[in-house]
């Protein structure tokens, strides 16, 4: 039975290396790949479920066109699909201009070949596309402004830490391989602190759990800085040599006392004091921030405040110490290293109009003018489910004249399409994959032929280009041909600048990225304007309109905001975390996953439930002025009173997306989506 080295390309921290066994054109087994030091134990349940996902009877294997008189779809040939697309695109370009077409891409699958989509639209004459990102931009930008670039120590260095702070992160579910290194550190005497409104699986291992009111982490960080400075538990030689703006920062946190922060964040004063004492006296300190915490309207400044704790204590550039958020050292084929390179709003690139905020997708689509949008092409994403303000996104998509969706399954977005094109799986085309937690470049090898009439997206784009009259000569360097040899030639070309990387080596397994810095910033070179860690950032002020020094401000949708209408005592913070059973809205249609997690539930503290007459197992209505969801409630004393929680990613067809209740608004920097500024009412239905 042939065995191949490959890699999971999902938008996941771990980016696991795996070995797959193939027999008679079918996946038979998936097992660990020990050559990746970050993921030697192998894939999670989602990775193991690829056998079912790849061969699922629910998979879309042919082009489908929506029936004229009903909600169903009927199979059409590729010729019919191509003819329809060409006719619609040509008419839109002639009548309204190419920018009447919205090209929307998500991050459901990583890979170099995914970039060919934009190359097609440039050849088409342009399009309208989005800026920003749903996932992590506020944290990326806060890190770039402070440290100069996004990188961190290799994952296995974590076992050298004396103190690990999981700040808004639940590694036991969202980065399970990291827990191996956390356990090794613990065996060597390291302490673990978790800061999270929920008592998570990760928190069960901690010596201290701090449960703040959502959106107030910045106040806790500034108060901890106040104590560290007051007690002189800081590294003054490091500060003098490597930190810009300490004097201004010291002045700014003078009033940020533990009492001040405790009242804002609704946490005990002694918890903040313990946090500061541990940071000041526990040896190398590593802080690992979760992505959820930087999805508030104040989150960029929050992240800057947390990084400052490491800067003033000299916990950067050393083994066992540092800031873990995103390591982009493997992003050698694109522009993701600089979050500002995600097409800033209002920019134009080869007639590509960048005018739709991903965070405000529905609102901005409806507001598009000169021209208005008439067609949408969606791939590698499920925006109906995953973008904020689902009702408005639905309104925007339903207002278009034609919608094309490329997907493997009948997602909520695919159900809104006029034409569905079947998408490949990770096993049906080779590609190059980077990561954002570990430092390996990997080859996602083709090990199966696409089933049915599935065509890889690059092949679809090439065929469309030819049918639109674009010369083959214009496609030669930007959209590879359909043959495996064409794909390998395309990948080889992109590997050419890196002689350490060849397809031959990558077929054997993961390869460390050339130029890797295992201990980030160990040379103490910070590519900021000053060449130092910038606690004082004039760019933060000029680009984003925030204070040059990290300060705390309330998030826009908060029970402390006076402008809120209604009875604030009834409002609850709606947390929508990730789960180990899904990657956002992927995998939860599989029987393997549904057996463990069959339906959405609202997690509520018994105290909040009692006030509302909710019993364990009651059917409840979660609602605000954006929308509503109806699910069953489950009691959990581990969640902070005043908060309720429901994991994101559930489809509308499975009970409702959490984004019925979220508002489309951006974070304070980076054009991220501030999903978590989200207050709801909960009432019992039965």
Report yes or no: 682 and 602 within 8 Å, Cβ to Cβ: yes
Q: What is the mean pLDDT of residues 639-654?
A: 95
Report yes or no: 403 and 419 within 8 Å, Cβ to Cβ: yes
Confidence of residue 53 (pLDDT cuts 50, 70, 90): very high
Residue 189 has pLDDT above 60, yes or no: yes
Query: Of the candidates 223, 229, 187, 221, which has an alpha carbon nearest to the alpha carbon of residue 205?
Result: 187
What φ, ψ does residue 56 adopt, rounded to 5°? -65, 140
- What does the block give as tokens for 658? 């959490």
H helical segments located in 16-170: 45-48, 50-54, 78-95, 116-124, 137-147
**Number of residues that make up the chain:** 686
Q: Cα 679 from chain centroid?
A: 22
The four Cα atoms 543, 545, 548, 550 give a dihedral, to 10 degrees, of -110
Q: How many Cβ atoms are within 10 Å of 679's Cβ, its own excluded?
A: 21
Confidence of residue 615 (pLDDT cuts 50, 70, 90): very high
Q: What is the mean pLDDT of residues 350-369?
A: 92
SS3 call for 109? coil
Distance CA 282, CA 624 (A): 44
Identify the pLDDT of residue 350: 62
Identify the pLDDT of residue 340: 46
> For the domain 138-329+521-544, what is the CATH code?
3.40.228.10
Distance CA 685, CA 571 (A): 17
Query: Of the candidates 212, 319, 229, 307, which has an alpha carbon nearest to the alpha carbon of residue 267?
Result: 212
Residue 562 has pLDDT above 70, yes or no: no
Q: Residues 6 or more apart from 306 whose CB is under 8 A from it?
A: 167, 217, 218, 221, 287, 289
Distance CA 525, CA 299 (A): 26
Confidence of residue 686 (pLDDT cuts 50, 70, 90): confident
Residue 348 has pLDDT above 90, yes or no: no
Q: CATH says 64-125+341-425+453-480 is which class?
A: alpha beta
Identify the pLDDT of residue 336: 47
Average pLDDT for the chain? 94
- Bridging pattern class, strands 243-244 and 533-534: parallel
Identify the pLDDT of residue 11: 86
- In the chain, % of residues over pLDDT 70: 96
Q: What is the mean pLDDT of residues 431-453?
A: 96
Same fold? 64-125+341-425+453-480, 138-329+521-544: no
Q: Residues 6 or more apart from 593 whose CB is under 8 A from it?
A: 45, 46, 49, 581, 582, 587
Residue 71 has pLDDT above 60, yes or no: yes
What φ, ψ does residue 433 adopt, rounded to 5°? -125, 130
- Bridging pattern class, strands 619-623 and 533-534: unpaired
How is domain 568-684 classified at the CATH fold level?
Answer: Barwin-like endoglucanases (2.40.40)
* DSSP state, residue 529: T
Return the higher-pLDDT residue of 224 and 569. 224
Distances (CA, A) of 100 to 88, 369, 470, 676: 11, 9, 20, 31
Report yes or no: 161 and 321 within 8 Å, Cβ to Cβ: yes
What φ, ψ does residue 220 adopt, rounded to 5°? -60, -45
SS3 call for 132? coil
What region does 61 belong to: left with phi over 0, alpha with psi -120 to 50, or beta? alpha
Distance CA 152, CA 252 (A): 27
Cis before residue 234, ω within 30 degrees of 0?
A: no
Least confident stretch, 182-191, 259-268, 473-482, 660-669? 473-482
Q: Cα 394 from chain centroid?
A: 22
Distances (CA, A) of 153 to 173, 502, 679: 21, 25, 36
SS3 call for 305? helix
Structural domain boundaries in the chain: 64-125+341-425+453-480, 138-329+521-544, 568-684
Burial readout 136-162 (b: 16 or more C-beta within 10 A, e: otherwise) = bbbbbbbbbbbbbbbbbbbbbbbbbbb
Confidence of residue 115 (pLDDT cuts 50, 70, 90): confident
- In the chain, % of residues over pLDDT 90: 87
């Amino acid at each position: 039975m042939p065995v191949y080295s490959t890699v999971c390309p999902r938008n996941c921290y771990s980016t696991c290396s795996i070995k797959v066994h193939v027999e008679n054109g079918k996946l038979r087994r998936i097992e660990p790949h020990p050559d990746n030091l970050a993921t030697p134990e192998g894939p999670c349940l989602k990775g193991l479920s690829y056998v079912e996902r790849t061969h699922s009877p629910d998979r879309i294997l042919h082009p489908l066109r929506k029936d004229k008189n009903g909600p169903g779809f009927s199979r059409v040939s590729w010729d019919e699909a191509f003819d329809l697309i060409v006719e619609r695109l040509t008419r839109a370009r002639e009548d309204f201009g190419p920018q009447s077409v919205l090209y929307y891409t998500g991050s459901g699958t990583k890979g170099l070949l995914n970039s060919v989509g934009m190359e097609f639209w440039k050849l088409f004459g342009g399009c309208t596309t989005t800026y920003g990102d749903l996932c992590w931009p506020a944290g990326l930008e806060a890190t770039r402004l402070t440290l100069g670039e996004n990188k961190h120590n290799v994952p296995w260095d974590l076992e050298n830490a004396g103190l690990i702070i999981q700040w808004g992160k639940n590694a036991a579910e969202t980065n399970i391989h990291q827990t191996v290194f956390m356990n090794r550190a613990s065996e060597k005497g390291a302490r673990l602190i978790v800061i999270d409104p929920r008592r998570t699986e990760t928190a069960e291992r901690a010596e201290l759990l701090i449960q703040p009111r959502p959106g107030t982490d910045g106040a806790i960080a500034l108060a901890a800085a106040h104590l560290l400075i007051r007690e002189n538990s800081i590294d003054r030689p490091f500060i003098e040599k490597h930190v810009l703006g300490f004097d201004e920062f010291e002045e700014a946190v003078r009033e940020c006392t533990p009492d001040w922060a405790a009242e804002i964040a609704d946490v005990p004063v002694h918890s903040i004091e313990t946090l500061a004492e541990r940071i000041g006296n526990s040896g190398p300190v590593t802080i690992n921030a979760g992505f959820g915490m930087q999805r508030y309207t104040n989150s960029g400044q929050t992240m800057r405040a947390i990084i400052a704790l490491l800067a003033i204590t000299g916990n950067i550039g050393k083994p066992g110490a540092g800031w873990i958020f995103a390591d982009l050292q493997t992003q050698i084929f694109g522009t993701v290293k600089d979050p500002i390179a995600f097409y800033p709003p209002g920019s134009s690139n080869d007639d590509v109009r960048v005018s739709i905020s991903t965070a405000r997708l529905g609102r901005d689509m409806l507001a598009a003018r000169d021209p208005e949008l008439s067609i949408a092409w969606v791939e590698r994403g499920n925006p109906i489910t995953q973008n904020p303000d689902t009702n408005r996104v639905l309104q925007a998509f339903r207002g278009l004249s034609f919608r094309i969706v490329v997907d493997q399954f009948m997602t909520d977005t695919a159900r809104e399409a006029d034409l569905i094109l079947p998408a490949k799986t990770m096993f049906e085309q080779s590609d190059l994959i980077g990561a954002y937690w570990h430092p390996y470049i990997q080859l996602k090898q083709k090990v199966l032929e696409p089933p049915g009439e599935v065509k890889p997206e690059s092949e679809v784009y090439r065929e469309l280009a030819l049918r639109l009259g674009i010369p083959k000569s214009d496609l030669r360097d930007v959209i590879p041909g359909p043959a495996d040899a064409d794909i390998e030639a395309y990948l080889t070309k992109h590997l050419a600048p890196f002689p350490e990387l060849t397809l031959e080596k990558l077929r054997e397994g993961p390869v460390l990225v050339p130029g890797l810095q295992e201990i980030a910033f160990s040379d103490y070179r910070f590519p900021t304007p000053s060449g130092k860690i910038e606690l004082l950032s004039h760019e933060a002020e000029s680009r984003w309109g925030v204070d040059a020094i990290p300060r705390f401000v309330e998030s826009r949708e908060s029970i402390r905001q006076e402008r809120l209408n209604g009875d604030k005592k009834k409002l609850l913070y709606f947390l929508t975390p990730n789960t180990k059973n899904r990657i956002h809205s992927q995998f939860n249609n599989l029987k393997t996953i549904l057996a463990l997690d069959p339906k959405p539930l609202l997690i509520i503290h018994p105290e909040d439930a009692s006030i509302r007459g909710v019993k364990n197992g009651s059917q409840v209505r979660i609602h605000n002025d954006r929308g509503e969801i109806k699910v069953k409630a489950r009691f959990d004393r581990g969640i902070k009173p005043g908060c309720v929680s429901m994991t994101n990613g559930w489809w509308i067809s499975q009970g409702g997306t959490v984004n019925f209740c979220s508002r489309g608004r951006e974070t304070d920097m980076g054009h991220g989506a501030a999903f978590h500024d989200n207050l709801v009412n909960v009432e019992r239905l039965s």
